[in-house]
Amino acid sequence: MKKFEGNKLVALLLSAGMATSLLAACSVNTDQLGQGISDLGNAFNTTATEAPAVTETSSAESSEETSGETSEETTAETTPAATPTATPSPTPLPQRVDFSDYTEIDLTDSFEVTVEEFEESAHSDDDTVEFAVFTGNRLVVTEADNETARDAINLVVDGFYAEAKGAYQNVVAQLKSEYLANGVIENSGSVRVNFEYVTNGRALSVLMVYAINVGDKTDRKVDFATFDMLTGHYITMSSVVTDTEGLERACKTALADAIKAKALEAVQPAVTATPTPTPATVTTTTAPTTAETTVVETINEDDLPKASDFDVIYIAPVASDTEGVHKVTVIGIAKDGIIYEADVEIDSYADLFNRYGTSVFFG
């Protein structure tokens, strides 16, 4: 046990007594004291937390001001100076092209056409019954300076021939079936294909027809094609004229007139004994070939086709024996299926052709 000196012991006793008196005199609320200390701590923490935010805001504002000042300075520094207007230079004069060194190309339209007759037939196995016969001709352009034109028209012609041969094979198959079923056939069949062509030296026109006959029944297919043998172009009515309907009307009328004139010429005598009695009937009398023979022929014009009777009109340029005269073969298909042809002068219709048509038909 420690020992205390006298004076120190007296002082300690006095201090303890004063503290006891003070505590006795004052009643302390420890709950409120604790709450106050807690509030003081929270206030301190809040202050400590908000203080840096104020500092950051100030820093941000300072940064924005600095950035704004820098941007303004940069903008001011990068503004381009005004570009002076350039003085236009004078337009250079066009240069002449010298064609003296160019190679001249000679375009020609010479060509050769070959037509070959053929015939074939189909029979029963014992060769006693003929089912059908296939006859006609084949057309081919054998030589041409323009190979494109040659190949194009050969494709069209070969296609039509193949169609006709297919029709023939169908007829054979039908009649063969009839023969196998009945032992006989009622009627044999035939298919005939025909190609006709005309040319004026520049264009080649081909009329293609095939007919199927079985007994009394006849079916016919007609097609037409014209090719420019210089350029290889497929020529249609609309590609060569400016007024298609006008030219078709003119050609129908010209064809009807030509048919009538040809019919009259066929019965026109060397010496006419009597004049024509009526406009509707043409009566001619031939001079007697002997003392006992007199031939009188009559043609009824009502039996001849009129311009309005033609459903389809084709025109094909042809060569003319007379210089300065230009002709076409007008092909007309009547409503009854009959095909009529006649050569017609077309110089009076020249204004109906366009520039390309003029070069092909009048060149």
> How buried is residue 335: exposed, middle or buried, by Cβ count under 10 Å (0-12/13-18/19+)?
exposed
Domain check: are 254 and 178 in the same one? no
Per-residue pLDDT at 51 exceeds 50: no
Domain check: are 138 and 169 in the same one? yes
Higher pLDDT, 281 or 349: 349
Domain check: are 116 and 209 in the same one? yes
Domain check: are 218 and 266 in the same one? no
Query: Does some domain include residue 225?
Result: yes
Domain check: are 303 and 326 in the same one? yes
Per-residue pLDDT at 43 exceeds 60: no
Contacts of residue 327, Cβ cutoff 8 Å, sequence gap at least 6: 317, 318, 319, 320, 343, 344, 345, 346
Domain check: are 250 and 217 in the same one? no
Residue 206: which pLDDT band, with cuts at 50, 70 and 90? very high
pTM above 0.95, yes or no: no
Domain check: are 231 and 241 in the same one? no
User: What pLDDT, on the 0 to 100 scale, is given for residue 299?
Assistant: 76
Domain check: are 192 and 243 in the same one? no
Per-residue pLDDT at 112 exceeds 60: yes
Domain count, the chain: 2
Q: Over range 19-48, report the average pLDDT.
A: 51
Q: Which tokens in the block code for residue 294?
A: 């007199």
User: What pLDDT, on the 0 to 100 scale, is given for residue 186?
Assistant: 95
Question: What percent of the chain lies above the pLDDT cut of 90?
Answer: 55
Query: Does some domain include residue 84?
Result: no
Query: Does some domain include residue 65?
Result: no
Rounded (10°) CA dihedral 50, 53, 58, 63: 180
Query: Does some domain include residue 275?
Result: yes
Domain check: are 241 and 215 in the same one? no
- Of 235, 263, 292, the one marking the end of a domain is 235
Contacts of residue 109, Cβ cutoff 8 Å, sequence gap at least 6: 145, 146, 201, 202, 228, 229, 230
Q: Over range 214-236, report the average pLDDT.
A: 93
Query: Does some domain include residue 28?
Result: no
Q: Over range 316-325, report the average pLDDT.
A: 93
Q: Over range 318-345, report the average pLDDT.
A: 94
- Of 206, 235, 264, the one marking the end of a domain is 235
Query: Does some domain include residue 69?
Result: no
Question: Average pLDDT over the chain, rounded to whole?
Answer: 78
- Of 171, 206, 235, the one marking the end of a domain is 235
Query: Does some domain include residue 18?
Result: no
Per-residue pLDDT at 96 exceeds 70: no
Q: Up-side HSE of residue 119: CA atoms within 13 Å toward CB?
A: 2
Domain check: are 247 and 339 in the same one? yes
Residue 210: CATH number of its domain = 3.30.565.40
* Complete DSSP assignment for 335-347: TTS-EEEEEEE-G
Query: Does some domain include residue 21?
Result: no
User: What pLDDT, on the 0 to 100 scale, is given for residue 44?
Assistant: 46
Domain that holds residue 310: 237-354
